[in-house]
Amino acid sequence: MPPTSGLPADFLFGAATAAYQIEGAVAVDGRGASIWDVFSHTPGKTLNGDTGDRATDHYHRWAEDFDLVAGLGLDAYRFSIAWPRIQPDGRGAARPEGLAFYERLVDGLLDRGVQPVATLYHWDLPQALQEEGGWLSRETASRFADYAVRVADVLGDRIRLWTTLNEPWCSAFLGHGSGEMAPGLRDGESALRAAHHLNLAHGLGVQALRASRPDAEVSVTLNLHTVRDAPGSKVDGARRVDAVGNRVFTGPMLRGEYPADLLRDTAAITDWSFVHDGDLAVIAQPLDSLGVNYYHSELVAPAPAGESADPDAMAAFPGCADLRFLPYEPPLTDMGWNIDPDALEELLVDLHTEFPGIPLMVTENGAAFPDVVTEGRVLDDDRIAYLSSHIAATVRAVNRGADVRGYFAWSLLDNFEWALGYSKRFGLVRVDYDTFERTVKDSGIWYRDLIRTVKAGADDEG
Ligand code: FCB
């Protein structure tokens, strides 16, 4: 087990999920279609044509799943609310059946002594809004704020910690730049425009949440790229990737401005005229915490001569077509990602140094491995080692002064891993996709024991 001394007594250990990845029941109780229903049903967009139609059937099995959450001893559970269950067309009155489902979830968690942490948007935009422009339209930001109020008005008495958006970088740049994710567009200007409208949605969403519930604690979750220049690289690649990968969000949200170098680097792609007067003041709302999702790190270098003109290679990073990420050094996870816990420690320490007033939460961290079931058990030592080393890195960051308040493993359950379908298993709990049977993996048991040990230590001291 990793050393945990130094963690604050009220540090939250949790696990995270997202609506489209686990719920299934996509046509139940009047849910509307989302961009991920349409994308996953488009031939060629997901591995094996997998869709979230059934996912893990959490919509019907949530009580069983929350018994597992309680059995693991989690302090908190991070989940997302599916906008198209609340407003099937992305506007208008909230659907009682949709709200009732999330009331069941929240009450089910509270009954089991688990703190609910709700994300309002984990990528499932109502398709009806996509047909009006989606994140390329400013109007979507206002629609998001309207949705946020309707949810907070009903659930705000029981949910303290809210997250506006999960990983807006993926929505903007994988959704509109590289096209790997819904809605599947491939255009640098669109990615930057979408990023601004997501920033605006965040700011309006924070205002809406606080208008509904003045006591709401509000955060946003970013997947910050931990990128370094490859040894000997003479271009400022890491700075440029950091601008279009990270500071495009932290700049406006936490400083109230788009970084000058980002505007310069992307000047040939857009004039940023989609940023209107007053937008930055709306976006830069004070936050109660910042969520950090971390999985792997990158080294960046100039593209080899001859390849440098390939605009597709860095389509998710507008303005970086002349750069390339280096292949990862093994060992790798089943996603093909490297394992670099030190980069998480540095990220947390750097964020605390740069934005000292904002508490941090690791809102996602975990690894996919090709689990095997042996006599009813999943012996996933590889995942235990991954989680252990990253929790240790989080503890080191805390002991270096970073104000980290929680750690959420991704994920509670194996689930629909977006464009990679059901091929990648991240869960602490295995899901059999034929029978929906759940089996707690060894990593789940390990995590439970870790949490018990930490709590026992805190009780001894207290
Ligand atoms: C993150 C997403 C999450 C999950 C993990 C593996 O980017 O937020 O939904 O897919 O990656």
How far apart, in Å, are the Cα atoms of 149 and each of 267, 325, 421? 36, 41, 32
Q: What is the CATH number of the domain that holds 161?
A: 3.20.20.80
Residue 117 in contact with residue 78, Cβ under 8 Å? yes
* Residue 2 is assigned to a structural domain of this protein: no
Nearest to 24 by CA among 413, 328, 443, 444: 413
CA distances from 379 to 31, 389, 443 (A): 38, 18, 8
Cα 134 to ligand 1 centre (Å): 21
**Is residue 229 domain-resident?**
yes
The pLDDT assigned to 53 comes to 98
What pLDDT does residue 233 have? Answer: 87
Give which of 330, 343, 249 is closest to 296, Cα–Cα.
Answer: 343
Instruction: Check the annotation: does 225 bind a ligand.
Output: no
Look at residue 317 in the predicted model and tell me its pLDDT.
98
Number of neighbouring beta carbons within 10 Å of residue 63: 12
CA–CA distance, 242 with 61 (Å, rounded to integer): 40
Identify the pLDDT of residue 312.
83
β-bridge mates for residue 362, sequence order:
292, 407
**Is residue 338 part of an annotated ligand binding site?**
no
Cα–Cα dist 326/208, whole Å: 42
Neighbours of 185 (CB within 10 A): 17
pLDDT tens for residues 415-425?
Answer: 999 999 999 99
Distance in Å, CA 19 to ligand 1 centroid: 12
The answer to whether residue 283 sits within a structural domain is yes
In 60-210 the beta strands, taken as DSSP E runs, fall at 76-80, 115-121, 161-166
380 Cβ closer than 6 Å to some ligand 1 atom? no
Give CA–CA dist 2/387, Å, rounded. Answer: 9
Ligand 1 within 6 A of 166 CB?
yes
Is there an atom of ligand 1 within 6 Å of 221 CB?
A: no
Decide if 7 is inside a domain: no
Question: Closest ligand 1 atom, CA of 418?
Answer: 10
Distance CA 249, CA 50 (A): 31
Q: Whose CA is nearest to atom 2 of ligand 1?
A: 167
Confirm whether 21 is domain-assigned. yes
Report whether 127 belongs to an annotated binding site.
no
The annotation status of 36 as a binding-site residue, yes or no, is no
CA-CA distance, 83 to 98, in Å (whole number)? 9
Q: How many domains does the chain have?
A: 1
Among 417, 423, 424, which residue has the most ligand 1 atoms within 8 Å of its CB, making it the best to mutate?
A: 417
Output the pLDDT for position 311: 78
pLDDT at 461: 67
Q: What pTM value is reported for the model?
A: 0.98
pLDDT digits (tens, 9 = 90+) for 30-54: 999 999 999 999 999 999 999 999 9
Choose the catalytic residue: 97, 132, 167, 461: 167
CB of 413 within 6 A of ligand 1: the answer is: no
pLDDT beneath 70: ranges in the chain: 461-462
**Helix 442-461 / helix 381-399 crossing angle, nearest 10 deg:** 30
Cβ 119 under 6 angstroms from ligand 1 = no
Whether 167 is a known active-site residue: answer yes
How many helices (H) and strands (E) in the chain?
A: 17, 15
* Ligand 1 contacts CB of residue 169 (under 6 A): no
Q: Which segments of 112-187 does DSSP mark as H helices, in order?
A: 127-130, 139-155, 168-169, 175-176
Which candidate in 298, 345, 364, 461 is catalytic?
364
For residue 388, the enclosing domain spans 12-461
Classify residue 363: in a domain, yes or no. Answer: yes
Q: How far is the CA of 24 from the centre of ligand 1 (A)?
A: 17
Task: Tell me whether residue 300 is in a domain.
Answer: yes
| Token pair belonging to 160 | 């303290």
Is 165 within the bounds of a domain?
yes
